[in-house]
Each structure stands twice: as C-alpha cells, then as structure tokens.
Amino acid sequence: MNSNDAYGALKRFDEEYIPFPPFIAAANSIDANIAQYRETGLAQHLLVLGESGTGKSSLCRWVGEKYPRSVLLDRDLVPSLIVAVPPAATIASVAEAMLARLGDPSPSTGSISAKTARVITLCRGCRVEMVLFDEAQHIHDRGQVATHYMVGDWLKNLIDEMGVPTVFLGLPRLENLLQVNEQLRRRFSRRLRLALGQSDTETIDTECLQLFVTLGSCLPLRLSTGDYSWPELGRRLYFASDGRVAYIKRLLAGALRHAMETDAEQIGPTQLERVFTEEIWWEGIGALNPFNTEFKFRRLDRGNEPFERGSYKTPARGKSSC
C-alpha cells in the first residue's frame, strides 16, 4: 500500500461512524422525533450522554448529512440546526452561536433578549425542525447553582418558544444542569447513553469484540486473533479499553498505522500490544499490557493506571465474563 492509499485509509476510518447499538438507538430516536414533529407538530426532546470520543459529534454530523440545509433565493432552509456550544458558555455566547449557524450577519449585536428574539425569528424563517446542542456540558461548566438555574430557565423558555424537537449532547456531567432546573429536567426525561455495557443479553467482552470486528471491516487489512481465540481477544479488548468506545477505535487506528508502516498484511495482537503502550498507557508493558501473553486479566484501574477509579463510571450491567 503506497503512502497516499495509507493516508486515505486512515482518514476514511477516522470519519467512520461508530455503529454500535446505542449510537443506532440515538439515531433512530432522532429520526422518530423529527417524523413525529412533521406529522403532529409535537416536539419530543432527547438527552444524549457519552464520554469523549463515543460518537456524539459523529451523531451530529450524521444528522446534518441526513437533514442538510438548502439554499433558496430568499432564505436558507435549515431542517437541522446543529450548534457547538462554546467553552464556559454564557447565555449570550450560546445565542450568538445559534445566530451564526442561522446566518445572522451580526450575531454579537444586541442585548440577550434581542439576540434571543432573533434566534426564534430565524428558526421559524429557516423552518428549523430540530436543534442539536453539541458539547452541551459547557453550559454547566460556568458559574454556580444560581447561574445554572438561570441558564436552564433561559433554555427552557427558548425551547418552548421554538417549539421544535431539541437534543442535548454532552459528557455525563451535563445531567447536573438538569438536576438544578426541574422544568428543564422534565423536558428531557428521555435519555440515552453512548456506552457499551448496557446489553441484557451480551457481556461487555462480546460487545467490545463486536465493535472491534465491525469497525475492522472498514479497514483495508484483515483482522487476526494471533494465538488467541476470538472470545479471548474480546476479553483483552475489554481490559485494554475499559469498555470505552473511543479507546477501541484508537487501538484500531493505531494498529492500522503501525501495520502500514511495517508492511504487515493483517492487524492482530502484535500491533495492538504496541499501540496500547504507545497511545493508551506508556507503562503498559509485559504483564501490564492486555495483549501480552503474561497479562493477568484485571481492570487497569489502580493508581496511575489509565482507567484509575474515580475518573469514569464503569457500566453496571453487561460486565466482563472474567
């Protein structure tokens, strides 16, 4: 494989949607909410939570591609308004981000009430059918409880005035914002988590393996288990990723890069062992590397290990079969 093909394969893989069940469930829910709104005018809202790299922004991209904006002579039609919430967001900065996405020529001009009024007017004029707030935890990251309540109240009123389905996507701490404001919480009673370990029928080992194989089918090289069985590779993938979607994709991307650098014909434990050390945990060598034959099959969640306890809440269901 020449360098152009290699870089192209990596780019395509990086842009690939992560087709695991919670992602598909979220996409189906968004489809259903838009269909319901078009048929009945009723707005159903949705909260999508997930750690970094689990596919929240990819979900927004998917929505934008399925419901793209179109340009008419007198206006833009924006069926899906996708807003990236700025860091340490304020009411003014969220309103400005919305206005910019709606094509307002002067999004920073005017008072908060004036900006809010323009947002509502433009949403109606552009026939917005759904609003998605990506990185919505930034709304929570600024100020104290009183500020959170005020921001939540503004969002509640804005959502009611727009009258279209709304989706909040963010890190799990976004739930704290909803806990402060009961009325906003009621509007987002439907919640989905982009995480493995939620299945009642599959172990998290199996889910990790299924995701690994599904993503691997997008690569130009075949997958290999080396000297391990497929179920054992699934166990090792769980311990190498702690059941986190982003780490499985990172392992595969790094393994593809390493395989292309060494002209390997397949991706297997040899590449995965090296990538785990280089990209996930530099001390993950020998018995501390899940792809090494000496690994002891335990979670790497002790002090100074990559999945140290307290940094992430492990799924309570679908536990590893170890």
pLDDT tens-digit readout, 131-159: 999 999 998 766 666 677 888 899 999 99
Lowest mean pLDDT across 31-40, 78-87, 140-149: 140-149
User: 21-193 and 201-288 share one CATH topology?
Assistant: no
Give the mean pLDDT of 284-295.
98
The whole model's pTM is what?
Answer: 0.84
> The tokens of 171 are what?
């890190």
Helices 245-261 and 230-241, packing angle to 10 deg: 110
Q: Tell me, what's the pLDDT at 322?
A: 46
Q: Which CATH architecture has domain 21-193?
A: 3-Layer(aba) Sandwich (3.40)
CA of 259: how far to CAs of 194, 227, 230, 272, 273, in Å?
29, 18, 20, 10, 12
Q: Are strands 130-134 and 80-84 parallel, antiparallel or unpaired?
A: parallel
Higher per-residue confidence, 207 vs 321: 207
Strands (E), 195-299: 222-223, 266-267
- Domain locations along the chain: 21-193, 201-288
CATH classification (class only), 201-288: mainly alpha
Give the model confidence (pLDDT) of 181-202 as tens digits: 888 899 999 999 999 999 889 9
